[in-house]
Structure 1
Amino acid sequence: MQTLRFLLFPFAILYGIITSIRNCLYTIGLFKRTSFDIPTIAVGNLSVGGTGKTPMVEYIIRLLKDQYQITTLSRGYKRKSEGFILANDHTTMEEIGDEPFQYHSKFDNINVAVDAKRVNGIHSILKNKPDTQAVILDDAFQHLAAKAGFYILLTTYDEPYYSDYMLPTGNLRESRSGAKRANIVIVTKCPKNLTLENQRNITEKLNLKTGQLSFFTYIEFSKLAYTKSRSVSLELLKNEDYILVAGIAKPQSFFDHLKNEETECLTFPDHHHFSPSDVELILQKAGNKNIITTEKDYVRLQNLIPSERLYYLPIQTSFINNHEVFDKIILDYVGTSTRNS
């Protein structure tokens, strides 16, 4: 696989040239960018998937939801619908996609919308929910037509953008220079005990421009696993037999947290829609064992697997240090922008 990617390097150069020209056309104004009067926070990455966007969006939701009326706007990847949709009590996962449905199911008093065209999506939000005070744009770093007021760029500790290459040789959607659009760069999925010295070394490699700040986060796993009707201590659940099922971009940390030498791990593609044959395979591999999956996969599996056997393990983004600084920056941006609007 690595040899194939190396052979595709000329295509990576071509892809880089095309994306750079596109970005330049937006910068010089030949392609229109639309700004908005309300605070808009774009969370995204330079690479393809697996940087921890969903837990980061949830962190910002928790930070803002008790003070402001917020709406999340996502593309709704792999949803079975088109155009703008604002979630309501009858909305299904198939209509809006797994990540938006997770936000919709998990948080009260926020609005959740999907639209592949972010400009239209924001206009539609303001029309249908005029009390909206801030919009969180999920996975919108490359959507330059909608000019967000604040950009948060995520990159992983194991695969930082400064060591990566353009698709198809690497995993970058655009060149590393795209990081200059970010207000904040967050290195995700770090070891919890990452030292200040290592943080400084990584920050130097990020090559931040004046005014940009870097933060470091890790994934914190819940101490409770959940079924549709109950919760159970993860330590108690670990004493029982189970298999692990994941259909996310980079499931290794999930597997590593839960597996032992005898645990069977089933891996499916990111955002995978589970077919009857997939469900049959999962149940066959499980036998009489419990099934533990990720929170994102649970929203796709919950109506396909017997509820008393299907557990999910939530995760959260946690800052290694300086979370108060990050929180203040976001709260100040939203508060100032809201007052100005």
Structure 2
Amino acid sequence: MIRIIRWIVLPLSFIYLFVVWFRNLLYDWGILKSRSFDIPTIVVGNLAVGGTGKSPMTEYLIQLLSKDYKVATLSRGYGRKTKGFREVSMDSTAMEVGDEPLQFKRKFPHVTVAVSEDRCAGVEKLKEQHDIVILDDAYQHRRLKPGFSILLLDYASFHKPILPLPTGDFRDNFSAVKRADVVVVTKCPSNLTAKEKQTITHKIRRYTAAPLLYTQIGYSTPLNVQQQPLAADLNNLDIVLFCGIAKPQPLISYLEQKNNRIHPLIFPDHHPFSKQDYKRIRLTYEELSCENKIILTTEKDIQRIQLESFKDLPLFYIPIHLLVMDFSQKTLDTLIRDCVSRPHNRPSSF
């Protein structure tokens, strides 16, 4: 039914596409102003809504750069109930700062993590005390002109019509890939064929000659809330999997490939879990008659849940990371380091 409704509102998609195209044109012509800064600013973004792997890419950049530079990350803080600029602390809550920024802070305590709807205002507050600002999900924030843009395109999006919202999933015209300094196709299958790559590459090369890389999502050993790894191998288990992420299917497929029996409880992206949800999760777990069973969620979801609701249950979360395919990791690292090391101009408007 939802799919039918989305096709019915196709005319709205063309109106949306025109508005986005016209807005981008005003920025391209300089009628609407963009601001640049005198420190490296790296934007990680996408064209479609949700689930392209922005968080793993942001974490990849933090790991690559934070050893040599004082790094700050800046996000909108999607799902938070607060407004304005806010620095994330270890005892912040997802309701205050959003789940992904909280994940960054807890994973990298030495890095400054901040949230602000106004990215320019956020960079202005961070620039004096930091060498680099990484902006998560800011590709459409045209008021800021980044020093380097990393555009992520989900592999699965190339297997369905590339249509704008609300009929499709794209929030920007596909031709916006021309603004990227590097294009990364994410969440690729391990058996990606040369023919598939050729087809995807052809679509992208119509708009840009920027470096093009292909990546996968890697899954690490599940951890409990005390950061202790799962003692048993992650196979032949009954797993109550609950998550509120945009695209849970890759995780489900990964777990099924390891001969696990999955009992999924899928919620909307950034879902605020309620007492009823916790009861449902507990009941699903208790109804399993087997002994080798666990409750599993994602690293993003663990930031939003009340751990007290699981204090007597085997709750684990599974971290993910970025895997660059085709021996291209050195290429990506070099592109990023070159951007950071080159001289930056004084701030200006365009």
| Interval containing the TM-score (normalised by the shorter chain) | over 0.9
Tell me the residue number matched to 1:263: 262
Tell me the residue number matched to 1:315: 320
Tell me the residue number matched to 2:124: 123
Provide structure 2 residue ranges, at least 5 long, that are not aligned to the other structure: none
1:301 is matched with which residue: 305, 322, 325? Answer: 305
Say whether 1:330 aligns with 2:330.
Answer: no
1:174 is matched with which residue: 156, 172, 175? Answer: 172
Measure, in 2, the Cα distance between the counterparts of 1:230 and 1:84. Answer: 30
Shift of 1:191: 1.2
Shift of 1:338: 6.3
Q: Which amino acid aligns with 2:279?
A: E
Tell me the residue number matched to 1:77: 78
Measure, in 1, the Cα distance between the counterparts of 2:87 and 2:343. Answer: 24
Q: Which amino acid aligns with 1:333?
A: C
Q: Which amino acid aligns with 2:300?
A: K
Say whether 1:144 aligns with 2:149.
Answer: no
Tell me the residue number matched to 1:28: 29
Matching of residues 1-341 of structure 1 within 5 Å: 1-126=2-127, 130-160=128-158, 163-209=161-207, 211-222=209-220, 224-233=221-230, 236-259=233-256, 262-287=261-286, 289-301=293-305, 303-307=307-311, 309-321=314-326, 322-337=328-343
Shift of 1:232: 3.1
Measure, in 1, the Cα distance between the counterparts of 2:141 and 2:271. Answer: 24
Shift of 1:339: 10
Measure, in 1, the Cα distance between the counterparts of 2:275 and 2:21. Answer: 43
1:27-82 per-position Cα deviation (integer Å, ceiling 9, x unaligned): 22222211111101111111111111111111111111101111000000011211
Provide structure 1 residue ranges, at least 5 long, that are not aligned to the other structure: none
TM-score, normalising length: structure 2: 0.90
TM-score, normalising length: structure 1: 0.92
Shift of 1:282: 1.1
The alignment partner of 1:264 has SS state of strand
CA contact (8 A) 2:9 2:167 kept: yes
CA contact (8 A) 2:90 2:105 kept: no
CA contact (8 A) 1:85 1:114 kept: yes
Distance verdict in 2 for CA 1:24–1:125, change over 3 Å: same
Measure, in 1, the Cα distance between the counterparts of 2:155 and 2:339. Answer: 27
1:93-134 per-position Cα deviation (integer Å, ceiling 9, x unaligned): 2211100000000013211000011111111212xxx23011
Measure, in 1, the Cα distance between the counterparts of 2:135 and 2:100. Answer: 12
Shift of 1:234: 7.3
1:175-220 per-position Cα deviation (integer Å, ceiling 9, x unaligned): 1111111111111111123244532332112125454111000011
Q: Which amino acid aligns with 1:251?
A: P
CA-based RMSD of the aligned residues comes to 2.2
Shift of 1:238: 3.3
CA contact (8 A) 1:57 1:138 kept: yes
Q: Mean Cα displacement is larger for which, 252-261 or 16-25?
A: 252-261
Q: Which amino acid aligns with 1:290?
A: I
Q: Which amino acid aligns with 2:309?
A: I
Measure, in 2, the Cα distance between the counterparts of 1:192 and 1:161. Answer: 16
CA contact (8 A) 1:72 1:135 kept: yes
Shift of 1:235: 5.3
Q: Mean Cα displacement is larger for which, 187-196 or 29-38?
A: 187-196
The alignment partner of 1:174 has SS state of coil
* % same residue: 41
Measure, in 1, the Cα distance between the counterparts of 2:119 and 2:282. Answer: 39
Q: Which amino acid aligns with 2:274?
A: S
What is the total number of aligned residue pairs between the two structures? 337
